[in-house]
Structure 1
Amino acid sequence: MAIIGLGATPAWAQTSPAAETMDHAQHQGAPSPDAVKPKAARDAMPAMDPSGMDHGAMPGMKPEKVETAGEMAAMDHGEMKMQGGSAPPDARDPHAYSGGYTLESGPYALPGPRVLRLSDEHNFGALLVDRLERVHTRDGNVTAYDMQAWFGRNYNRLVVKAEGDVSQGKLQEARTELLWGHAIATFWDTQLGMRYDSGVGPDRSWLAFGVQGLAPYWFEVDAAAYVGDNGRTALRLGAEYELLLTQRLILQPRLEINAYGKSDEALGIGSGLSDGAAGLRLRYEFTRQFAPYVGVERAGKFGKTADLARIAGEKTDETRWVAGVRFWF
């Protein structure tokens, strides 16, 4: 029975008296047997080469193949299946309706005319008054407006633009456009329609074509080309940027330039680069829909337009101080 009990003892529990003595000695701070050997004897011992050890001969250990760097470089990475590639044969068409059901057919279709509609099937409208301001110059005060309204869907809509100046209760100059807008890319619309100029001088009509949208780095761009009667042509470019100083305090740089292909002396316009304005407006948004602002703007006339202004005794450049409100609904 004693023999059987000894055989049942785990291997890790079978400790020889010599091992117990050595372990006790190490706990007492005694040096190991190798440490007490003379240095010459220790130096004479053959160095152990781990790479030469036969791990396969050790009981309980299975030999494993160690891959070298050359073998790892020879791996065929083409067999590794990465994300992407062709869809499996049983993949569902991502462009098809779920399970083949539609809004007009199938067990879940409602009787009568179709009630459910996607967002781009609804008509929406909005009015943005970007600038409604009082302009102060050395020659007097002027009320200016710049607004845009649209009605329609996401891809096609009717757009109305209006910009002008009023002084002493009289319309000095105005530009009104009636356009059809069509979405061509994310944040970008093409616009085609008519432009009508009115004010103190003779009226002018134009065919208008342009693009409007949000350029990279969040620049709002409005560019248009115009063709009028008697071979008149014109180009207009407007750009804005909104710099958020805080969530409510916003600084808006703005630039606008105009060019004409033919002189129109009745309106004081010369061919080439005609006029432009650059300004800064600082607004505070009580809500996103309502924000008063103050600012400064520098306006000037160039080229032949400046020459016509000098002949008429008018200034070719001026500084404007503005105060107004921006709102939309």
Structure 2
Amino acid sequence: MKLQYVNKALALAIAGLAIAPVWAQGMDMSGMNMPGMETPAASASTPADHPTSPTKAPPKSGDMGGMNMSGMNMQGMEGTSSHASKSASTLSPKPSTVPHDMKGMDMPGMQMQGMGTATQPTTNGKMQGMQDATLSQPRSADAYSDGYTLTTGPSIPPGVKPPRLADQENFGSVLVDRLERAYTRDGNWTAYDVQAWFGRDFNRLMIKAEGDASQGRLQDARTELLWDHAIAAFWDTQVGVRHDNGSGPDRNWLAFGVQGLAPYWFDVEATGYLGNEGRSALRLATSYDLLITQRVVLQPRIEANLYGKDDPARQIGSGLSDATAALRLRYEFTRQFAPYVGVEWSGKFGRSADFARIAGEKTRQTAVVAGLRFWF
């Protein structure tokens, strides 16, 4: 009977030792001090003089709750039993899916001051406060180019110019927005509105020209030479000079303004002018392309001119001098070539209308127009 109890106790001890490596994998026992616990000797000895009391088997594998190990002495435990050898050979450490429940375990002689488990967060002094430099600051391409730049490198021998990229090239374009013939009851005339530019994406030299001619004579013309600079994705600033000629004396102005695409796809031009003798002017123009189909486009357009003071020699009065509203329908054979027809209403106001009446001219008129719009 004593030997049977000893064998049971030995089997339980070996089972505990078998699962101990699995439990120890998640436990840091570097600082563990267990002065009250005696480990088994290297060689087996004779059976103990006093029998050990029978103990109950744990209800679950790895569950050691309620076990009292305060008086356990394993020095005299015999390990030559065939039953113990069989248990030791068959019980190999395997990953356990059952959590090791050790609550209630009574180990009064064991000191576990430095004991830590794997579930506690590991502290690494080298990683505290560490930040990735590539996330805190933008990456510089020059730092990875080995000293190469856009103008230097082994493929560019001395004295050879570097290759030019697309945004370094100069381009040019000409837009003839209106080249038309206008028909009224009182007479006909030819009108033009042209823009041409040469330069790069951000800086260009631009020429604007608008006017009309009748009976072989230039009636009214406005020509501007501007430096165009892009300030946003759809907006340019323009600074330059303007020259007026035609009927009356010529006038010269300093010009400054903006041109671009407003929200909802409105083309907008707003330019202010300063002339000699305290003259000032403001020109506003806007248009909108309404695509009826991919080739048929209806374009409404409004233009107005305002002046700061009277200029009787050119029949110009202060305030709102003249305004034009037009509606043109064009058919685009290609985007670069489109004939059109339309109607245009124009009028003079204020002092400008008074000057026109004195000269025997009409202040309001409606014209039917036909012309071409093209660019290259």
Q: Of the two, which has the highest radius of gyration? A: 2
Give 1:99 shift: 2.5
- The answer to whether the 8 Å contact 2:260/2:268 transfers is yes
Structure ranking higher in helix proportion = 1
Q: 1:255 aligns with which of 302, 305, 315?
A: 302
1:96-139 deviations in Å (ceiling 9; x for gaps): 35822422334555664343223221111111000000001121
Q: TM-score, normalised by structure 1?
A: 0.71
Cα distance in 2 for partners of 1:268, 1:240 equals 27
> Does 2:169 match 1:122?
yes
Distance 1:270 1:62, change over 3 A: farther
Give 1:184 shift: 1.1
> Does 2:267 match 1:220?
yes
- Matched AA of 1:246: T
Counterpart in the other structure of 1:235: 282
Counterpart in the other structure of 1:89: 133
Cα distance in 2 for partners of 1:257, 1:198 equals 18
Cα distance in 1 for partners of 2:278, 2:179 equals 34
- Matched AA of 1:233: S
> Does 2:349 match 1:305?
no
Cα distance in 2 for partners of 1:102, 1:284 equals 49
- The answer to whether the 8 Å contact 2:176/2:374 transfers is yes
1:253-274 deviations in Å (ceiling 9; x for gaps): 1010000000011111110011
Task: State the secondary structure of the residue aligned to 1:307.
Answer: helix
Q: Which ranges of structure 2 fall in alignment gaps of 5 or more residues? A: 1-96, 100-130
Counterpart in the other structure of 1:156: 203
Q: 1:144 aligns with which of 187, 191, 204?
A: 191
Task: State the secondary structure of the residue aligned to 1:306.
Answer: helix
Counterpart in the other structure of 1:99: 144
Q: 2:239 aligns with which of 180, 187, 192?
A: 192
Equivalent residue pairs, number: 247
Cα distance in 1 for partners of 2:143, 2:161 equals 18
- Matched AA of 2:133: P
Cα distance in 1 for partners of 2:162, 2:154 equals 15
Counterpart in the other structure of 1:324: 371
- The answer to whether the 8 Å contact 1:143/1:167 transfers is yes
- Matched AA of 1:208: A
1:135-175 deviations in Å (ceiling 9; x for gaps): 01121110000001111111111111111101111111100
Distance 1:93 1:226, change over 3 A: same
Distance 1:140 1:109, change over 3 A: same
Task: State the secondary structure of the residue aligned to 1:154.
Answer: coil
1:234-287 deviations in Å (ceiling 9; x for gaps): 000011110111111101110100000000111111100110001111001111
Q: Which ranges of structure 1 fall in alignment gaps of 5 or more residues? A: 1-60, 64-86
Give 1:201 shift: 1.2
Q: TM-score, normalised by structure 2?
A: 0.62
**What value does the CA root-mean-square deviation take over the aligned residues?**
2.1
Task: State the secondary structure of the residue aligned to 1:201.
Answer: coil
Distance 1:219 1:62, change over 3 A: farther
Give 1:88 shift: 3.8
1:1-28 deviations in Å (ceiling 9; x for gaps): xxxxxxxxxxxxxxxxxxxxxxxxxxxx
Task: State the secondary structure of the residue aligned to 1:294.
Answer: strand
Distance 1:299 1:88, change over 3 A: farther
Cα distance in 2 for partners of 1:295, 1:254 equals 11
